[in-house]
Amino acid sequence: MRETFSIRSTSSATFWGLPVFCIAIGPDQVSGERRGHARGIIAIGDVATGIIAIGTIARGLVAIGGMAFGVLSIGTISLGVIAIGAVALAGIAVGGLAVGILSIGTVALGYYGVGGLELLILG
């Protein structure tokens, strides 16, 4: 039988109705979650939603993860106002494939682009 690794921790302190920090990693047999979903000001989990979110899938003002969605997003696939990642889609995008108004990357697609292959969209 395979053991599963799981962490659950949530602060009792709250701000704007959210816990200050929440950590949810791995499955939870009690609630039936297959993967942890952390929700808080600082959220760390398989799926993280918060002001600062760190996880496989991260959503927040500052998002760091495999798939990151936020104002500032850093991840393999990043979407936001400022995005840094292998694939970055944003107003300001930096990555292997960068798509944005200002794009910097190996392949840069945007109004202003800097990269190995620049595809500029002219207004």
- Residue 104 placed within a domain: yes
- Residue 74 placed within a domain: yes
What is the spatial distance between Cα 94 and Cα 97, in angstroms, rounded to a whole number? 8
pTM of the model: 0.84
- Residue 46 placed within a domain: yes
Boundaries of domain holding 66:
7-120
What is the spatial distance between Cα 62 and Cα 65, in angstroms, rounded to a whole number? 10
Say how many domains are in the chain. 1
- Residue 1 placed within a domain: no
What is the spatial distance between Cα 51 and Cα 16, in angstroms, rounded to a whole number? 11
What is the spatial distance between Cα 41 and Cα 61, in angstroms, rounded to a whole number? 10
pLDDT for 2 equals 56
- Residue 31 placed within a domain: yes
DSSP assignment of 65-99, as one string?
A: EEEEEEEEEEEEEEEEEEEEEEEEEEEEEEEEEEE
What tens digit of pLDDT does each residue of 43-97 get? 999 999 999 999 999 999 999 999 999 999 999 999 999 999 999 999 999 999 9
What tens digit of pLDDT does each residue of 18-27 get? 899 999 998 8
- Residue 2 placed within a domain: no
- Residue 89 placed within a domain: yes
